[in-house]
A and B are shown apart, each in its own frame.
Chain A
Amino acid sequence: MKVDDYKYLPRMFRSMYENDSAVEEGKVWAGFDKRLSRARVALLTSAGLYVRSQPPFDIERERREPAWGDASHRLIPRGTEPSDLAMSHLHVRNDDVLVDPNIALPLAPLADLVESGFVGGATAEHVSVMGYQGWHDNSLDRWQEETAPAIARALEEQDADGVVLAPM
């Protein structure tokens, strides 16, 4: 069974994605050398989730400047209770995620898989970004220069052996 990318995409958006090509060319590959049962993994969501004690992603500026998107990131401690999470994202429905954040950031399923021994462990913190990065030619500049390196550093510091990314 092959997943249809466009099954749930409104027709008006289809042409934007059909001709989408890679930002950069070439293979990148890091081998996964450990046994999964001894490995520590991190999760990364683009749901715009944050812990209530952290500042929200700046959707107020996005409302004022629709072509701008917040390029910052948040680190979410692995033991965070679902009720301590909030969400800033104007491009997806928020209510299902707020009912159960595990549909975007599967903290509880990962804890289950750690407990069963399927995977060795979770990093102390996971990563959250807000997926909409704007609508202008330099949209990804701050990503490339600041956010991506900061996330990579955080993952290295936490000895992540692998990352599961889930765009929204």
Chain B
Amino acid sequence: MARWIEKTGIPTVVVTMMPALAMAQLAPRVVGVEFPFGHPFGMPNDRKTQRRVLETALTVLAGATSFATRIDLDIEWPQPRGEAFKAGRPQEPSPIVREMLSNSDLLRRGATTVE
């Protein structure tokens, strides 16, 4: 998605829990956060962290001088790992995961997500 937008002439930055994947997919600018899935800007109601992540993203957006710039943010998730892991999972397995669990061929093929 970042590449499609960038191609139209609008610069992009991707804030992501999977920066190595974003780099493998050749996103132009990447900010990595080690947060549970579903929480790219931090914890609910933690405005300070949300602002810090966005400020970093905007700094990279405006200040990166070359393709494939990656900056990782050194912010530790405030919850214990087990709780954080739970925060990153859906309440119940998604339909495709449920199907995968009963058909291992699907798991090998890989899903398509927009990064």
Residues of B within 8 Å of A34, CB to CB, are: 62
Chain A contributes a number of interface residues (CB within 8 A of B) equal to: 85
B1-18 to A contact mask, C-beta < 8 Å, 1/0? 111111111111111111
How far is it, in angstroms, between the C-alpha of A151 and the C-alpha of B12 when the chains are bound?
13
B-side interface size class = 35 or more
Secondary structure of the A contact surface, majority rule: loop
**A163 x B5 contact (CB < 8 A):** yes
From known contacts A96-B39, A132-B111, A164-B58, infer whether A109 and B51 are also in contact, taking CB-CB under 8 Å: yes
Cα separation A63 to B95 with both chains bound (whole Å): 6
Cα distance A93–B90 in the bound complex, in angstroms: 4
Known A8-B37, A92-B90, A165-B12; contact A3-B51, beta-carbon cutoff 8 A: no
Q: By the criterion CB–CB under 8 Å, are B17 and A163 in contact?
A: no
Distance between A124 CB and nearest chain B CB, rounded to angstroms: 15
Residues of chain B touching chain A, judged by Cβ–Cβ distance below 8 Å, are 1-21, 24-26, 28, 32-45, 47, 50-51, 53-55, 57-59, 61-64, 66-68, 72-74, 84-91, 94-96, 98-99, 106-115
